[in-house]
Structure formats: C-alpha cells, structure tokens
Structure 1
Amino acid sequence: MARRNAGAIHVRIDGIARLRHRLSELEPRILEALQKGVKESAEAVRDETARTVPVDYSERDNHHLKDSVTIRYDDNGLAAEVGWFDAESYYARFVEHGTRRTPPQPSLGPALELERLRYKARLTAEVRAVLRW
C-alpha cells in the first residue's frame, strides 16, 4: 500500500508480521533466510521503480527520482519501506498519483504489484533452501 506523509511517498513490504513472535523460536538461519528474501524483494521493487520512473528531460535535475528511490529496513530486517524519503523528492507523489492537470505516471505502485506476485515464492524458496541444508 502506498503511504504518504510530509513530502515522502513509499510502500512498506512486511509480509512477515504474523510470524514475528514465532521467529524468536526459529533457528537463526531461517531468520537470515527471511531477511534475505525481504531484502531481495525490496531491492527488486527499488530497481523496477528506478527503471520505470518517468524522467523529464526538460528539467535541469531530470534523474532525481530515478537516483533517489531508496530502501529503509526495520523489524530486524523483516520489513522494508521502498520509496522517496527526502524532502527534495516531494513531487514523487504528484508523478505517481497525478494532479488535477497532469495524469498519473505510476512507477512505485506497479513495481510493488509485480513483486507481490513473487514475494511469497521468494520467501518460501529461501526458507526451503535452509531446511534442506
């Protein structure tokens, strides 16, 4: 889900919330596998967003959104937020959602939806690899 706050637009990837309590009982290798899966998913969303965000070649700083999409991790690496967090990227929300005068040109939302299809499979594969070890 896209979230908005004071000049920032980002999504949160955290499909592990229900397991948080039980993770303390799991082997550290499984926790590491889940962290790796979350990291790979967050990086995939970041990379796809950077690849598809519109670039306005008429502007002086035309690669700012492409270059400033970042990832923030929390919950011991089991949750990630991908998006624009700096004040200079305030206009990302206008690009993503459009305005009264300009149509939306989403990049973060479609990148998230693309990864949503892979997320569960990615986490499952990482955990299975550890359990087979």
Structure 2
Amino acid sequence: MPPRRRRGGRNPVTVRITGIERLRERLASLDAEVVKGLKEGVTASAEAVRDETARTVRRDSGNLSETVDVRYEEDGLIARVGWFEDPEFYAHFAENGTRSFPAQPSLRPALEAERGRYRARLTEAVRRALR
C-alpha cells in the first residue's frame, strides 16, 4: 500500500501491519480470549519490526533509530510501524536512497523478516486462546 501524502509533499515512512483486516466483521462474534490473543500477536510482531528497524537503520545522528515507533489502530488489531513526525521525514531518503547516497533500507527488510513469524504468532495466539 503506498504511503499517504502529507502536507508539504512529504510522505511518512511507515508500514501498516494488518493481517486480520478481512476478519473485522467476524471479530464481534469471536471469544474475547481469541481477540486478546490476536492483539498480542499483532503487538509482538509490530514491536519486532520496530526493534529490528531501530537496530539496522542508517546511523547519522542516531535520531532515526531512537524515533521509529509503533502506533495502533482498531483497538490494537492493526499496527503501523515507522516514523511519524516531520523531523524524521528524511527516513524516506535513507530507506529509498537519493542521487547522493544509495538506499539503506531497514523498515522493509524488518517487515519481510517478520512476515512469516507474524502468521505463526497469530496462529499460536489463537490456539492458546482456544485451549
């Protein structure tokens, strides 16, 4: 999903982890423990992506590694990971590169590394809730 345009023409550098959006209508009928397990899985994966991104992001001032963050939506069932504040607009350039320096992606590789674990986390969380 392409990033939304921000005022001033700058794009936020974020990744939206959804995985269960298509189940939204069915969540109301799910047991509260299952929903709690899904939220735990989303949180664990979002934090893993955040932590790996902070560990591998380009180091200039150190600001990007300190400001990568997670924001939750849909009562914790959706997580957005990335940089959300205007001072970190240059994360886009670090991730994608410019004419002056090559791309040094950190957010996308962290997301790709977590992709398989995310499904496993959700599956395990639901299994635990159903026991």
Q: Tell me the TM-score range normalised by the shorter chain.
A: over 0.9
| Residue 10 of structure 2 is aligned to residue 15 of structure 1 | no
- Give the Cα separation in 1 of the matches to 2:101 and 2:118: 32
**Which consecutive unaligned segments of at least 5 residues does structure 2 have?**
none
For these two proteins, the number of residue pairs brought into alignment is 127
The equivalent of 1:59 in structure 2 is none
Query: Identity of aligned pairs, percent?
Result: 54
Name the structure where helix makes up a greater proportion of residues.
2
Q: TM-score, normalised by structure 1?
A: 0.91
> What is the root-mean-square deviation in Å for CA atoms of aligned residues?
1.2
The equivalent of 2:107 in structure 1 is 108
Equivalent pair of 1:2/1:11 in contact (CA under 8 Å): no
Q: How does 1:1-133 map to 2 (within 5 A)?
A: 1=1, 3=3, 5-6=5-6, 7=10, 8-56=12-60, 62-132=61-131
- What SS is found at the alignment partner of 2:99? coil
- What SS is found at the alignment partner of 2:75? coil
- What SS is found at the alignment partner of 1:11? strand
Give runs of ≥4 in structure 1 deviating > 3 Å.
none
- Residues 23-82 of structure 1 show CA distances to partners (whole Å, capped at 9, x for unaligned) of 1001111000000000000000000000000112xxxxx111000000010012110000
**Which consecutive unaligned segments of at least 5 residues does structure 1 have?**
57-61
Q: TM-score, normalised by structure 2?
A: 0.93
- Give the Cα separation in 1 of the matches to 2:83 and 2:16: 12
